[in-house]
Structure 1
């Protein structure tokens, strides 16, 4: 018995450094946003280490690079960003360029919506709110990962195929849930223009007092005219509830709700997913919880 225990202990002692070495030498993917990071984890499993610059609840429009970000990106074998200027002032592109790391823009291949109310043509960057677009993100990540590690290509394809099936199921479920809202009540009023793709995909109308960005970029910042238009729209459609967002200050929306005679229907995940151990910590969880909140408040 004693000999057996000693042999087991010796075997573990020999294997532990090997396991630790394998863990330390996994390829590293550094992502800009929480959604992109979740997509990457679905594709790579434990084959690669996925890190994210943004934390839950942080706004990619307003994020300013920190001293440690360049060091983190410099460790990456691959960088992933959303693109279309979601990352304010293109901070992820700049970090990748600064450190000489390869970067993939996940929104590539999505059919863009144009940002409303601006003089120059700009793509709305919140494309992931359509499950169809989310599937494009996943395929872009899958292809980039296979190029990085072709030896395990079949594994990445299999994981991606399973997750793409889940996204198709999610899409069908959202359509059924939104159908529970009376057609004339399908107006989604939120803090900023994050939900245009969602509304287009699932038969709702979007209304917001600001623009696509919460920062100082094109379309950002409330004007008295935009504020009044939003209030008038809420009254015209007799909207029951409007919504705040987890990554945006809710003060303005609460004031508009009070003035328009609507209630706050709840908090929606928008530019960032939920914190670990919350219902919205994954993309599917985030979308599920958003839809349940919207339907319960508007039906």
Structure 2
């Protein structure tokens, strides 16, 4: 079974605009997957699948959500909790097993191996993050992508932009929120803040200058890394992020 992705490494699903070749790719597919919870903007992936009459599975189905917009929606960045990533794996396993029942046992065995790797990853992350004093666990990034990570590993998140980068691209960063972010950085005594691979670094670098702190590195947020990079896989992306956060905050 061949796996293809609509988005290239580094592209932002919040603001992605469908290309003509995307519909052609989906029309040749057997199964489609999206993240769900409006990570894909106005559900562009689901629309592509439905227009091509292809089955689509939302990987977040059954995950434990964080509420946003006063409870009107779910934060879509659920994969930053390995426990939620395990839900993604089970949803993918079940979808491919239903499509190809002849190899059901193989898919389940492979999925179990990966679930074991996720448990190992979670234990490793906890060990790395526990080495950072609780009062220093303040994570300032380009937008609200890391709330699940913060919930899981007892961090406080502070960002100038909401859950969708569309608010930055559309000029939705209010002066008040920007001032609040700078104030939080200063009041918490934050040492480093972080840019993201799929978001322009300009604003966060300006905030770092205003707050008198350094940019501690770049985090993978709404996209994994290109082939050959440390973040080319989910586990590699998570490990690289943790190492960057640990180096910036210790």
**Please, what TM-score do these two structures have when normalized by structure 2?**
0.97
| Number of residue pairs aligned between Structure 1 and Structure 2 | 249
CA distance in 1, matches of 2:72, 2:166: 18
Equivalent of 1:63 in 16, 37, 43? 16
Q: 1:120: how far off?
A: 6.0
CA contact (8 A) 1:104 1:144 kept: yes
Tell me which residue corresponds to 1:9. none
Equivalent of 2:153 in 198, 202, 208? 202
Equivalent of 1:278 in 197, 206, 229? 229
- 1:118-137 aligned at under 5 Å gives the runs 118=69, 121-137=72-88
CA distance in 2, matches of 1:127, 1:249: 22
Equivalent of 1:87 in 40, 44, 47? 40
1:212 aligns with 2:163: yes
Q: 1:221: how far off?
A: 2.2
Tell me which residue corresponds to 2:112. 161
**Please, what TM-score do these two structures have when normalized by structure 1?**
0.82
Equivalent of 1:105 in 37, 40, 58? 58
Tell me which residue corresponds to 1:246. 197
- 1:1-299 aligned at under 5 Å gives the runs 48-115=1-68, 118=69, 121-216=72-167, 221-299=172-250
CA contact (8 A) 1:85 1:125 kept: yes
CA distance in 2, matches of 1:155, 1:220: 48
Q: Deviation digits for residues 8-34 of structure 1, max 9, x if unmatched?
A: xxxxxxxxxxxxxxxxxxxxxxxxxxx
CA contact (8 A) 2:167 2:173 kept: no
Q: 1:119: how far off?
A: 5.0
Secondary structure at the aligned position of 2:74 is classed as: coil
CA distance in 2, matches of 1:80, 1:295: 32
CA distance in 1, matches of 2:234, 2:162: 23
CA contact (8 A) 2:49 2:56 kept: yes
CA contact (8 A) 1:79 1:101 kept: yes
Secondary structure at the aligned position of 2:195 is classed as: strand
CA distance in 2, matches of 1:220, 1:212: 14
CA distance in 1, matches of 2:71, 2:220: 28
CA distance in 1, matches of 2:133, 2:187: 15
CA contact (8 A) 1:241 1:262 kept: yes
Q: 1:111: how far off?
A: 1.2
**Judging changes above 3 Å, is the alpha-carbon distance between structure 1 residues 120 and 109 closer, same or farther for their aligned structure 2 residues?**
closer
Q: Which structure 2 residue ranges, 5 or more long, are not aligned?
A: none
Moved over 3 A (4+): none
Q: Which structure 1 residue ranges, 5 or more long, are not aligned?
A: 1-47
